[in-house]
Amino acid sequence: MFEIRYSAQARQFLRKANKADADRIRAKIEQYAEAPDSLKNQIKRLQGLPYYRLRVGDYRVIFNETGAIMKIEKIGKRGDVYRGV
């Protein structure tokens, strides 16, 4: 089980996204934090970077894990989210 922390960019994205998408993204993040093995098919490690990617429909959640902390670094559409990571 992980404690979830959001970066400023991730919080801003969730505030600006429509409610249905934001709720679905939050639900997937919380599901992974509670039981990481439940979503192992939707998680990939980013090559050459200390981050992981969680797929949520057309959105991607970029995060890292440090001990019991899951830091959500960036959330965005699949085509744009990898820029600047």
At residue 29, the pLDDT reads 97
- Compute the distance between CA of residue 79 and CA of residue 27 in angstroms, rounded to an integer: 22
At residue 7, the pLDDT reads 97
At residue 40, the pLDDT reads 87
Consecutive sets of 10 residues in the chain, 85 residues long: mean pLDDT of each? 96 97 97 92 93 96 96 94 85
Smallest Cα–Cα separation from 7: which of 64, 52, 83? 64
Stated length of the chain: 85
Smallest Cα–Cα separation from 78: which of 63, 60, 62? 60
Q: What CATH code is assigned to 3-77?
A: 3.30.2310.20
The pTM of this model reads: 0.92
Angle (CA) 59 65 67, round 5°: 155
At residue 32, the pLDDT reads 95
Domain edges within the chain: 3-77
At residue 84, the pLDDT reads 80
At residue 79, the pLDDT reads 87
